[in-house]
Every structure is written in C-alpha cells, then in structure tokens.
Structure 1
Amino acid sequence: MKHNSGQSRMLVAVDCVIFGFDGQDLKLLLIKQNNGPQKNKWGLMSGWLQPGEDFGEAASRMLYELTGLEDAYLEQVSAFAAEPRQPKENTVAVAYLSLLNINASQLQLNDQYQAQWISLQDLPGLIAGQVRMVEAALERLRYKAAIHPLLFELLPAKFTIPQLQILYEAIYDSIFDKRNFSRKILSTNLLVKQKDKEKLSSKRGAFYYKLNKRRYSATFNAFLHFVADPGDLK
C-alpha cells in the first residue's frame, strides 16, 4: 500500500459503559477526570488501545484495573467518532457494555479513579461524546434483555422475584403486571426456589430464588422473549 504523507493519524480509544443495580435503581459507574481539558468532569472508564491488543482485551484490561474483576460480562456496542482527546489528533472510540453486581464481594474499586455508582436518573454532565455511548449501550441492553436472560448478571446470588421485577422495570422504565411477570419468569425454569424468605419488604415475605447456572449457560443464546416485541427496542 502506498504511503500517503498527508494522511492524518487516528487514535483509538476504548470506553466502558458499566451498569450496576443496587436493588432499586439502575446505576452507571463513572470516574472523575484528574487532568487535561476535561478535569473534574465525570466520564466513562476509558483508555487507549495498546499495541498487540484487540478491543475486547483492552476493555477487559480497563475493567480489571478499575474493579479487580475478571470475566465480567462485556459486549461491544459500537464505534464512535469521538472528540479529540489529544491536541490535534483525531480519535475513534469503541464502546463496550458491561454488567456488574454492585454488591459482589470481589468488586474492589480502584481508589485512584475516584469512581462512583450514579443513578441514571441523576447523571451529571459527561465528557464530550460519551452521552451517545451511554444511550447506545442502554438501547442495546434493553434489546438484549428482552430476548436473553442476561440481567441476572446484575443480581446477587440469591434474590426474590419482586427484586427481579424492580430491575426489569428500571431497565425499561415501565411498570410490569406482577402476576404476568412472575408467571413468565418462572416458566423459563431458570430459577431454583429456596426455603428462606426476604421479610423486610412485606409481612408475608417473598421466597428467595437462585439461578440455575447450568440451564442459564445452556439457554443464554435462546430466544426466551422475556419482554414482548423486542424488535421495537432496537
């Protein structure tokens, strides 16, 4: 290929849109910028693609640096023409969606990033271009959650059906009928009923369930249609 001396250089960044759920609200893990033109602004965990890395490896590396977690759920969302992050340099950013259990004992946020979980309802102004990434990642999450059981990645090992419903309602910003939701979820045979109950939310209490991990792995790519008409959510 003939070298074009007038060709501009393109820097490649990888940005991680990290979602978590605290039992009531869907949250985004943001870090405070310590230097540069975006100093003191909130933004996504991001970094440069290193020599020899592919995009997924870069996203996994950054997620581990921030949280100490390995093998967390990661999915590429899209590439974006980003605002220049270095003077006079064009930048393209590849966004990744990640789902974390906020209360996982293995989750250890790296203090140097000043990271905080912030509700989607209370997001501060993000650094240039990253609002589009969050919107695209949320749209992808809604679509995928309609046909795959991936939202269990956000839950603790033991949970109730009402807690699961709150999560789905937070994702879709909608209210679901309790009976229909319970019937639909139980019909998947993904849940294993436990003997104990969660009794803080009501006098009767709600039975805890655990995920049948073997069936979860076997049916993850099956079209379970948890939510009607997922095509409308694309």
Structure 2
Amino acid sequence: MAELSSGYYADQATMFIATDCIVFGFDNDELKLLIFKRRVAPNEGNWSLIGSFVKLDEDVDDAARRVLKEITGLDNVFFEQSKTYGKANRDGGARVVSVAQFALIRIDEYDRELTEEHGAYWYRLDEVPPLVLDHNQMVTDALSKLRRRAKHQPIGFELLPEKFTIPQLQSLYEAIFQKKLDPGNFRKKVLSFEVLKKLDEKDKSTSKRGAYYYTFDHDKYKTLLESGYNFEIL
C-alpha cells in the first residue's frame, strides 16, 4: 500500500490505533462479559477487555475479527462498532486511539480451551471487577448501545442457541434490560413479528408439559428489515 510507505507524513508524531472487544455472552439466564488478565505493561496483571493494536495493512473491523477468532475460536461472530475513545492521556503506554466493538456470541459454542489458554473468563455484569484504562466506560457504553438496538431489532438472537423456547428468549431480554417482563405480553409481541419458526420438539427440562422450541427465520427477518418494518419489542 503506497500510502503506508511513501513517507508523506514522516514528520508527524506516531499514534497507535487499537480495537477493544466488549464480548457479551448469555448463560444461565444471565448476561456475561468476557475479560482477561492483561499480559503486557502498563497495567500488566490487571483485568482488561480483549483487544489488539490494528496492523498497518489491516482494516479496523478485520482486526476485531482476528481478535475474536483468536480468543473464542469462532468465525462470523456478530460485532458492531460501539464508540471511539481518543482522549490524549487515556493510555499511559503511548498515544493510542481505540475503536471499541461490542460482540455477541453463543456461550455454548466458543472454544473453552482456547479461551482459557488466553486467561480469559466470563463475569456476570454486576460482578465485573475494575478494568484497565477506560474499559469500564467502554462496557457501559456498549451495553447502552446493545439495549437501544435490542429494543427495535431482534439482535438478541445472536446470543441464543439455534433452537430456543419463548421463556428462554424472554429471560435473555430480561437480562439485557435488567427488568422483568410480562410473559403473556412478551409472547404475543415476539410472535406477532412472524420471524420465529415453531418446531415439533419441546423442552421438558423445567416442566412436564414443556415448552415448544423455536428457531429464528433470518431470511424473513432480513426481508422485513429491508422493507422498514419496526421490530420494537419493549
């Protein structure tokens, strides 16, 4: 890439670009965050989000995909840019601008051995310890954006297994918004979108009667979304 090697900006001070990933997972009716112990100075040994510097020949989103793959072993993880953090003194190691990305993964699909190899662990949101730099603010901002998106679009399906029950779906939204929802109203609302496919199979782990499993109809959802359909759930 000529722009990287021409030296036109050689007289400018060096600045680094990083990407930090706020990785959310859903487990046992709780929303959780994946963090790890930082292995480099400054702040070595302290809790941190998963992140990396962006390579010279790498797009920012590609850097996020690389980080998520390295930590979870998963391809095609849903992620979205949350916010850019660029205060001059935010990182004591150098002048660093960070592009934060929030990611949603199915917690039963990631590579546990790979994650543990990197020293990463899942924490409930209300138990997340102090994080390095401005990472706690990144989590707060990402959660706010997740809630805004989940209110109008069924983004939460990225956190569920391929098949799920309506009560499981409700538990997810209760975890995201940290409030209880009326079961009858929630069922009526989500079924009215007609983007769920009902299966013949039932989950009987919580009752003899059981609850039917559903799958998410991505094609139907995409068609409705392109038509301007409003998926407001709450």
The answer to whether structure 1 residue 191 and structure 2 residue 196 are counterparts is yes
Q: Among residues 58, 71, 74, which one is paired with 1:69 in the alignment?
A: 74
Displacement after TM superposition at 1:4 (Å): 8.8
Offset from partner CA, 1:171-216 (integer Å, 9 cap, x none): 0011111111000011111111111211122332111111123213
Q: Among residues 135, 138, 159, which one is paired with 1:133 in the alignment?
A: 138
Residues 65, 3 of structure 1: CA spacing in aligned structure 2 closer, same or farther, 3 A cutoff? closer
Q: Among residues 211, 214, 227, which one is paired with 1:209 in the alignment?
A: 214
SS in 2 for 1:157: coil
Q: Please tell me the residue identity of whatever aligns with 1:84.
A: D
Displacement after TM superposition at 1:166 (Å): 0.5
The answer to whether structure 1 residue 84 and structure 2 residue 119 are counterparts is no
Cα distance in 2 between the residues matched to 1:188 and 1:21: 23
Regions of 4+ moved over 2 Å: 2-5, 105-112, 216-228
Partner residue of 2:57?
52
Partner residue of 1:16?
21
Offset from partner CA, 1:27-49 (integer Å, 9 cap, x none): 01111112323222111111101
Q: TM-score, normalised by structure 2?
A: 0.88
Cα distance in 1 between the residues matched to 2:161 and 2:112: 12
Unaligned runs of 5+ in 1: 229-234
- RMSD over aligned CA atoms reads 2.1
Cα distance in 2 between the residues matched to 1:220 and 1:106: 32
Cα distance in 2 between the residues matched to 1:224 and 1:106: 35
Cα distance in 2 between the residues matched to 1:223 and 1:43: 38
Q: Please tell me the residue identity of whatever aligns with 2:230.
A: L
Partner residue of 1:169?
174
Q: Please tell me the residue identity of whatever aligns with 2:182.
A: D
Q: Is the 8 A contact 1:77 1:96 kept in 2?
A: yes
Partner residue of 1:117?
122
Q: Is the 8 A contact 2:198 2:213 kept in 1?
A: yes
Length, aligned pairs only: 225
SS in 2 for 1:125: coil
Partner residue of 1:231?
none
Q: Which moved more, 1:22-31 or 1:163-172?
A: 22-31
Q: Among residues 215, 218, 223, which one is paired with 1:218 in the alignment?
A: 223
Residues 106, 115 of structure 1: CA spacing in aligned structure 2 closer, same or farther, 3 A cutoff? closer
Residues 107, 186 of structure 1: CA spacing in aligned structure 2 closer, same or farther, 3 A cutoff? farther
SS in 1 for 2:149: helix
Q: Please tell me the residue identity of whatever aligns with 2:91.
A: P
Offset from partner CA, 1:59-90 (integer Å, 9 cap, x none): 1111111111111111111100252252xx21
The percent of aligned pairs where both chains have the same amino acid is 38
